[in-house]
Structure formats: structure tokens, C-alpha cells
Structure 1
């Protein structure tokens, strides 16, 4: 038989078989050894995906419970504040400047401006069921434009329900390089209309019944127009506009 004829003959009935796969169980392991069941060494990939949804489910439950508790606390606080508001009906205290006297206003040899004012102010607590503790550290000051002329301390006291308290506060201060400021004040004095600003900064504690709450701050500002800056004389307050607010 020729060589080219031999090359066309192929074996029949011989098919290629895939290589044998490694068994899941080692061959030398026995299912009946010591009465224990046969253990599988390799976990199929399809079974390894069941742990992830379980962890996600626990995380989602924790987030839902946390959000629920947070919303519940907000609702409880809002309901408590609403009940307190209905029961006590809180109102802001208000203040009015009664008199203003300049005890001293002079230019020193070092060209600093010395000022001493005496202010009488009425503090009014309009609340029927709320008392106010005026704590230590309260300040009152008088300003001209953006310059503080003098400052004094507000006394510490307790103000009861629907009470009016008159405070006499002495203010004093010294401003460096006061010659320019003194000239401006004298010019305003000639017109008979001197704009001044009275600022109040008072830490207070609110008393609801027998409960004393945490401290808050009463911040106030009174825009005043006075007719004169004469020393040792009562000054006529021609205009007064006061605004007050509370700050936590």
C-alpha cells in the first residue's frame, strides 16, 4: 500500500475522553470511620453566596431600628416641648431705659477719653408661671457708633412671676486716642441729638415650677437718641427702640 493511501486511513471508534476530575472526597477517607459521617472538603461555589444576604439583612435591620429610635426620640421631645409651651406659655422678658445720667465725660492728658454713665433700667418678667434667675456675669455697655464708651455689671438676682425690677447700673470705661471721638461727640451735642446704643448681655436660668433649667443668654440692644452729654445732669431720652432675644 502506497504511503499516500496510508495517510488517509484513520482509526475508527476511538473518542477522546475528558481528563478525570479530582474527587470531592479523598480516596483514603472512610464514611464509616469511628461512626462519623463523611465530610465534604470543598464547598460548591453556589453554596458560598448565602452568607452575604444574611449579613446585609442584619445591617438593614440595625439601621431601621436606629432610625426608628431616633424618630421616636424627636417625637417625644417635640411632644414634651409642646406640652410645656401650652402649660407655661413662655414670654420673653422685656426691658426699658428709664433714665441716663453722665457722671463724667472728659479727655485725659494722655488723650484718652474717660466716661462714666449711670443707667436706670426696668426689667419686666411678664410670665405667670416662670421665674428668672439672673446669674453672675451679666454686662451692660454704652456705645457710640462702633466704639464702647463704658461698661458695667448687672447684679445677680431672682425675678419672680409677673415682676418688674428696677436696676441701677454704674458704667465706666476709657477709650484710647479719644480726641477724635470727643470732637465727634461735641459736634453731635450741638445738634441736640446724640445717638447712643445700650447693649445688654445677661446669662439667665429659667425656673419652671420647682424645676430650674440650664442657663441661656438674654441679648438686648436699645437704640437711644439723647439731647445732651452734659455731666452731672439728667439726660432726656428723645427716642428709644429696644430689641431682645434669647440664645441657647
Structure 2
């Protein structure tokens, strides 16, 4: 009598399952290695280039109107010119969602003015101009007192601010969006007698930028 040996269906099923598991494990390892290599390459490029944040300076600021229509409502009109510079030699910058406004003693005294998005190449500079206005903006009761005190001191100090988002461009690769904030301080001569012309600041103040 001869003996016949055969594998049970149970053993065959177990072997097939093991083969499928090994296949998925190899595929997972290959994909993990690929994505890790891509991320490492991007990180290496980032570390080598190490983009510097953009630089802004105040070219000119002119106040044409800054008066209270009632005790707590302000009308304002300010013309602003900023110089924007990309200091990077190998990194371009896309600017998106740009908003500019003026503040005095921590109070916003104009509504947001929106600038069109633009691209700034390697070490390029751009002039940005904005007309900032406010009509019937509510301000604190101390506003008139603060302006009067600055007029007695002979100096009026404004904060001209810009908020937006930027993207770095390296070759064909473009990063995600990063929020940035710019703060420029404008100091204007403001004597005890009201001037006939606009108050002006033309000292070319360097602005602070945070990302």
C-alpha cells in the first residue's frame, strides 16, 4: 500500500496569506524609502539655501487728513510708499493676500487697503504704494488728547503695517504659504500750529519683518 501526502486547504491558505503580507511589506518599505528621500532632498536644499526673510523700508508717508468728525469718529487719509527687497540670491518670493493699514497709539486709524499679489525675483526690489483712508472710524476717547500731546512735543509717530502670506520659490519648487507681518514707524514733525500742507515722513526708516 502506498501513502499519498497532500497539503490541506488550510496550509495552502496560510502560505498564500504570508506571500501577500510580504508583498505589501516590500511595497510599503519601497514607498517609505522614496518619500523619505524626497523629503530629505527638500530639507537639504532648504538648509543649503536658507532663505532670508524679505526686507522692507519706508520711503514716504504723507498724512492729508487726520481729524475727528465727532468725539469718537475719525476721518483719515494717508499716502504710503514702501520699498520691498528680496535679499536672496537663489530664492524667489511670491507675495499673496497683502493688507496695509495705519495705526496710532495701538489704534487702527484706516481701513485695510489691499495690494495685488506679485512675484519678486532673486535680489529684486519693488516699490509698493497704497492710499489709506478711514471715514467715521471709531477711536478711543483719549485720541484727541494723545494727538494734542504729540503736537505739543512736536512729533507725531505712526505705525504703518502690512500683513500677508508669502511662498518661497527654488527652481520649479514652490513652498506652502507662510504668514508675515511688517511694521514701519513713521516720525513726522508736528508743531503747535497746524501746517497748511500734509505731514510727511521721508527718512527711509527700516521696517521690522516677522514670519
Partner of 2:175: helix, strand, or coil?
strand
Q: How many residues in Structure 1 have an aligned counterpart in Structure 2?
A: 177
Q: Which residue of 2 aligns with 1:212?
A: 174
Q: Which residue of 1 aligns with 2:198?
A: 233
5+ residue gaps, structure 1, are 1-68
Task: Tell me, in whole angstroms, the C-alpha distance in 1 between the residues paired with 2:201 and 2:93.
Answer: 31
Task: Tell me, in whole angstroms, the C-alpha distance in 1 between the residues paired with 2:93 and 2:148.
Answer: 40
Rg (Cα) greater in structure? 1
Task: Tell me, in whole angstroms, the C-alpha distance in 2 between the residues paired with 1:134 and 1:177.
Answer: 31
Asked if residue 148 in structure 1 is aligned to residue 108 in structure 2, the reply is: yes
How far 1:201 moved relative to its partner? 0.6
Structure 1 stretches of at least 4 aligned residues deviating more than 6 Å after TM superposition: none
Partner of 2:142: helix, strand, or coil?
helix
Task: Tell me, in whole angstroms, the C-alpha distance in 2 between the residues paired with 1:102 and 1:85.
Answer: 43
The two structures, once aligned, show a CA RMSD in angstroms of: 3.1
Q: Does the CA contact (< 8 Å) of 2:61 and 2:81 recur in 1? A: yes
1:237 to 1:188, Cα distance in 2 relative to 1, 3 A = farther
Partner of 1:153: helix, strand, or coil?
strand
Q: Does the CA contact (< 8 Å) of 2:56 and 2:207 recur in 1? A: yes
Q: Which residue of 1 aligns with 2:81?
A: 120
Structure with the bigger RCO (C-alpha within 8 Å, sep 6+) is: 2
5+ residue gaps, structure 2, are 1-31
Q: Which residue of 1 aligns with 2:51?
A: 90
How far 1:186 moved relative to its partner? 2.7
> When the two structures are superposed, what TM-score results if normalisation uses the length of structure 1?
0.61
